[in-house]
Structure 1
Amino acid sequence: MAASQLPSRAELAKWDQEDPLNWTRDEFEIPTIKACGGDGDGEAIYFCGNSLGLLNKRARQHLMEELDVWSTRTVTGHFQHPHNRPWKHVDAPLTPHLANLVGAQESEVAHTSTLTSNMHNLFTSFYKPTKERWKIVIEKGSFPSDWYAVHSHPKLHDAVLSPQQVDEAIIPLSPREGEDTIRTEDILRVLEENKDTIAIVWLPLIQYYTGQLFDIASISPKAKTIGALLGLDLAHGIGNVECKLNEWNVDFAVWCTYKYLNAGPAAIGGFYIRSGLDDHGRRLAGWWGNDAATRFQMSPEFSPTPGAKGYQHSCTPVLSSIPLLATLELIDKVGFDNMLQKSKKLTGTLEALLKSSRYYRPATSPKSGVVEDETVGFKIITPDAPFRGTQLSLSFLPENKGVMPAVFSRLIKKGLVGDERQPNVIRLSPVVLYNKFEEIGRAVKILEEALREEEEGQRLDKEVDYDMASKE
């Protein structure tokens, strides 16, 4: 976007007035600046939905309804429910919506447990290493929980694998030197180089730190060609970008629901298992995976529910599941395609205004990613559209000078809520359902104010250091 095309604050406000989705903001409870730890009055600019989504007003209503049912119906709420949500089937209104969002059949989706627990569940069933094919491909910069979980599984197969194989089981993917994101061509090259030994390729749909959207449509055929299974972490993808698990021929996937789906802190997650994927008898069974028609007969024989729901273990927690319904119904009403259109405009506008800032430091070359300017500023490490969702990750400069924590603290004080990721990144994510275009303009202004204060502070520190040195 050329400088002459950058929208003014008045134009951004006009975009909000004309936005056909502007009514959805009123569905959410917007936090105040003071409540978020800032100074000043009014609503905070909440650009942290990629970490924890805001409270949907109907989710509050649903929770209060469930507390009333607990209070009045007690145990009978499992079977008789005044709002037609019996607890024994609390996932029933959720899974059709979830299946649509991830591009799957309903029978391939289960709403249960939490992301890392679901990872362990699926890896136990589908990671079947042999002496010839035992390796797992994962990005080196993956979310720590994924990294820890994946590393734990080869050790469970020491009866099959030698100590050397256990040590060499993980193939880490890294960006090229001087770059921030991983090129698809490099992933394909690694798969080809290790084609006879890879058992599972495990990737995020969106990388949590950089915000990179991986090109799964290009990676999946290669994984299948070499005979490997493909698994995805959709934590930052579901409700944010288009997911096409069936079309991409993904084998299994996991997700959480507290980010773009606004289900609340540590809310129940879910998983996908491709129809026809054979676990060869390695399923971890639990009574909630037993056929729902016979589950309460308490039979000693396990009769699994067909599809993904047969991999569930314990009964579904009601109070950490039911808030999800509000956002899923809202998305269905809005239309996810309409959300994607607004998402591209919101994030594109944020990107354009950030790049117009005097503190923006573009890379010296498109390939190297090296920034030579050592003055206070930032670079954007998230790829350009279409290889991203709503998140833009800003890396602050100079590196190793404490710029990021200082700037982040100032942003919070001024009412802009993003989140910090060590060592140098602040993630900003305007969310379609409750953020406005006008907030984009104010957010960039707040960021520039914070950087100007940091710049001035560093200049004064240098003057003090110079004066002290001259006196010595």
Structure 2
Amino acid sequence: MTFKNILAYAKSLDEKDPLAKYRSEFNFPKVNGKDAIYFTGNSLGLQPKRAVEYVNEVMKDWGELAVEGHFYADKPWWDYHERFREPLSAIVGALPEEITVMNTLTVNLHLMMISFYKPTAQRYKIICEEKAFPSDQYMIQSQVKVHGLDPKETIIEVKRRKGEHNFRTEDILAAIEEAGEELALVLMGGLNYYTGQVLDIEKITASAQEQGAKVGWDLAHAAGNIELKLHEWNVDFAAWCSYKYMNAGPGSASGCFVHERYHDDESIVRLGGWWGHNKEKRFLMEQDFDPIHSADGWQISNPSILSLAPYLASVEMFAEVGMKALIEKRDKITAYLEFVLQDIANEEQASYEVITPQNSSERGSQVSLFLHGKGKNLFKYLMEQGVIVDWREPNVVRLAPVPLYTSYEDVFNFGQILKKASRII
């Protein structure tokens, strides 16, 4: 498609955009008295207006019903989490019973490792990516130590090739093959937070399972952003946060996937808790843990309804729109952003480099700029001018044109601010 870096053209794209109406469903922060150009939905999504309504509904029920809200609220708290099964299964490509919502992301990954990382004298190694998101690194290291193992001897980090910003699938597959029968687990980020690269989840999963290993995915930056087929791809487990592309609010509840083949497997150890106990017998206060035969069997405590409420508002919006429509706009607006960046780079001889893959199948709604020479001065200028972007050391600015609320005019206006910055910084 041939783009144009002019305002009238950007406005024409917005006029034809079937998702444009959803922009008004969100609250935008203001900078200098104007709505910000918000490119940080890959860190914290904007607040959906209906999320406020859903939280207020819970507060009202709490005030008027107190404990009886568990059973007599308009959306009873007793089974509130079950409302996520259908919409989330469509977002991540799962069966409804493979989905649960509980805790937060790293907590859920810890719980999954309890069940799926069972090292032996021969099979104990874990593969992750070099410079994975720090929380994942800390989580894996601590789980290894729980088993009395040395992280340096146990964790294999797949590295980028010298001078390259992204991982090569063949290098990940080679590491899996080399680990062979020593490999117990592959646990990686499905979409790299730093560059925006999407890994080949299907191919990596199949390769690791051929070696007899389990495979889990951190989908923090992937869920609600890219096409996922977790059940079809035979993924063992996955978890994701809800506050990035799914706009559920800071620190909100995490989604979790456990493949159906494990639901009835009594040999799997899981950390028990009463909300994961047989729902029909939960209030009989039985002594022995009888886990629910679904992903809900991994729950521990009753979920925070105030945390779930904004998430439910968001996933219902996703159900209205559908991932197909979101991905279509994501690809188009991300390509337009990349075009504007390149147009300005050519005109101004700007010293930045796009390190996100150009192929739409290898990226989500993110463009990462590696800044040569300008560093934080450019970042600070953009923020002062009302462009809210994300800085990552050592020299990267991340831009996320989220299809639900970013307009093509936003992209054009950002380009004009960047052009001015190129001339004065």
TM-score bracket relative to the smaller structure: over 0.9
Q: Name 2:361's counterpart in structure 1.
A: 386
Q: 1:143-158 alignment to 2 at 5 Å?
A: 143-158=133-148
Deviation at 1:380, TM superposition (A): 0.7
What is the aligned counterpart of 1:42 among 34, 38, 45? 34
**SS of the residue 2:397 aligns to:** strand
Q: Does structure 2 retain, via aligned residues, the 8 Å contact 1:137–1:171?
A: yes
Aligned equivalent of 1:31 = 29
Residue 67 in 1 paired to residue 37 in 2? no
The reply to whether residue 422 of structure 1 matches residue 393 of structure 2 is yes
Once the two structures are superposed, the pairs formed by residues 421-440 of structure 1 within 5 Å of their partners are: 421-440=392-411
Task: Work out which of the residue numbers 339, 343, 351 in structure 2 matches 1:377.
Answer: 351
Q: SS where residue 30 of structure 2 aligns?
A: coil
Q: Which amino acid letter does the alignment assign opposite residue 306 of structure 1?
A: H
The residue correspondences of 1:219-258 to structure 2 (distance < 5 A) are 219-258=204-243
Question: Per-residue deviation at 1:430?
Answer: 0.7
Q: CA RMSD in A?
A: 1.6
Identity among equivalent pairs (%): 41
Aligned length: 422
AA in 1 matched with 2:410:
E
CA distance in 2, matches of 1:237, 1:397: 28
Shift of 1:109: 1.0
Which residue is equivalent to 2:421? 450
For each residue in 1:86-123, what CA deviation from the matched residue of structure 2 results, as whole angstroms up to 9, or x when unmatched?
A: 11111121222111111111111110000000011010
Match for residue 325 of structure 1 among 307, 312, 333 = 312
> Offset of 1:155 from its aligned partner?
1.4
Q: Tell whether the 8 Å contact from 1:360 to 1:377 is kept in structure 2 after alignment.
A: no
CA distance in 2, matches of 1:30, 1:415: 11
**In the alignment, structure 1 residue 92 sits paired with structure 2 residue 82:** yes
Q: For structure 1, list consecutive stretches of 5 or more residues without a partner in the other structure.
A: 34-39, 362-374, 455-472
Aligned-residue offset at 1:216: 1.3
Deviation digits for residues 31-61 of structure 1 (CA, Å, limit 9, x no counterpart): 211xxxxxx3321101111110111111101
Structure 2 counterpart of 1:205:
190
* SS of corresponding position for 1:241: coil
Choose from 350, 367, 377 the match for 1:406: 377
SS class of match (2:119): coil
Native 8 Å contact 1:203 1:231 kept in 2: yes
User: Could you say what secondary structure the match of 1:211 adopts?
Assistant: coil
Divergent runs of 4+, >4 A: none
Q: Provide Cα deviations, 1:66-91, integer angstroms capped at 9, x if missing partner.
A: 1111111111101111x2x1111111
User: What is the alpha-carbon distance in structure 2 between the residues aligned to residue 201 and residue 266 of structure 1?
Assistant: 26
Match in the other structure for 1:17: 15
> Is 1:32–1:41's contact at 8 Å kept on the other side of the alignment?
yes
CA distance in 2, matches of 1:281, 1:354: 50
Distance 1:279 1:16 in 2: 53
The aligned residue for residue 182 of structure 1 is: 167
* Contact 1:285–1:312 (CA under 8 A) maintained in structure 2: yes
Choose from 306, 316, 321 the match for 2:303: 316
User: Deviations along 1:403-443, whole A, 9 cap, x unmatched?
Assistant: 32111111111010111111111110011111101111111
Distance 1:59 1:417, change over 3 A: same
C-alpha contact (below 8 Å) 1:377/1:396 kept by paired residues: yes
**Aligned partners of 1:138 and 1:170 also within 8 Å:** yes
1:296-320 deviation digits (Å, cap 9, x = unpaired)? 2211121111121101011110111
Query: Is the Cα contact below 8 Å between 1:48 and 1:419 reproduced in 2?
Result: yes
1:351 to 298, 314, 338: 338
Per the TM alignment, residue 335 of structure 1 is displaced from its structure 2 partner at its CA by 1.9
Q: Aligned match of 2:288 in 269, 278, 301?
A: 301
Of 113, 129, 140, 2:119 maps to: 129
Calculate the TM-score normalised by the size of structure 1.
Answer: 0.87
After TM superposition, the structure 1 = structure 2 runs for residues 336-347 of structure 1, keeping only pairs within 5 Å, are 336-347=323-334
2:333, 2:403 within 8 Å by CA — same for their partners in 1?
Answer: yes
CA contact 2:127–2:186 (8 Å) conserved in 1: yes
- Residue type of the alignment partner of 2:371: F
Q: Residues of 2 paired with 1:196 and 1:169: CA distance?
A: 13
- Does 1:79 pair with 2:64? no
Find the aligned partners of 1:376 and 1:438 in 2 and give their Cα distance.
Answer: 21
Asked if 1:268 is matched to 2:266, the reply is no
Q: Offset at 1:376?
A: 6.1
What's 1:457 paired with? Answer: none
Task: Give the counterpart of 1:51 among 36, 43, 55.
Answer: 43
1:395 partner letter: F
SS of 1:202 mapped into structure 2: strand
What is the CA–CA distance in structure 1 between the aligned matches of 2:223 and 2:350, rounded to whole Å?
Answer: 35
1:337 alignment partner AA? K
CA contact (8 A) 2:82 2:100 kept: no
> What's the counterpart of residue 280 of structure 1?
267
Structure whose alpha-carbon radius of gyration is higher: 1
Would the alpha carbon gap of residues 88 and 388 (structure 1) be closer, same or farther in structure 2, given more than 3 Å must change?
same
Q: SS of the residue aligned with 1:247?
A: coil
d(CA) in 2 for partners of 1:122, 1:103: 19
Does structure 1 conserve the Cα–Cα contact (< 8 Å) formed by 2:334 and 2:366?
yes
Which residue does the alignment assign to 1:36? none
Check the 8 A contact 2:344/2:350 in 1, yes or no.
no
Distance 1:360 1:221, change over 3 A: farther
Q: 2:69 is paired with a residue of what secondary structure?
A: helix
Q: Which amino acid aligns with 2:170?
A: E
User: Which is richer in helix?
Assistant: 2
How far apart, CA to CA, are the structure 2 residues paired with 1:346 and 1:279? Answer: 47
